[in-house]
Homo-oligomer: A and B are copies of this chain.
Amino acid sequence: MSVGRETRLSAWIERFAAHFAEEGIPLIGGRILGYLLVCQPTERTAAELSQELEASSGSISTNLKFLVNAGLVTKRTRRGRQAAQYRINEKRWVDLIQRKLDALVSVRELTEAGMRLMSGDPERAVRLRTVDDLYTWLATELPAVWERRPASSR
A interface residue numbers (CB < 8 A to B): 5, 8-9, 12, 15-16, 19, 22-23, 36-38, 40, 42, 88, 90-91, 93-94, 97, 100-101, 103-104, 106-107, 110, 113-114, 117-118, 124-125, 127-128, 130-131, 133-134, 137-138, 141-142, 145, 148-150, 152-153
Contacts and interface: CB of A to CB of B under 8 A. Distances in A.
A133 to B, nearest CB: 7
Contacts of A38: 114, 117-118, 124-125, 127-128
Nearest to A152: B133
A113 B114 CA distance: 43
Given A104-B97, A141-B145, A145-B145, A12 B113 contact: yes
Given A104-B100, A127-B90, A131-B90, A117 B12 contact: yes
Contacts of A131: 37, 90, 93
26 contacts: A5-B117, A9-B117, A12-B114, A15-B113, A16-B110, A19-B107, A22-B103, A36-B127, A37-B114, A37-B128, A37-B131, A38-B114, A38-B118, A38-B124, A88-B127, A91-B130, A93-B131, A97-B134, A100-B104, A101-B104, A130-B153, A133-B152, A137-B150, A137-B153, A141-B148, A141-B149
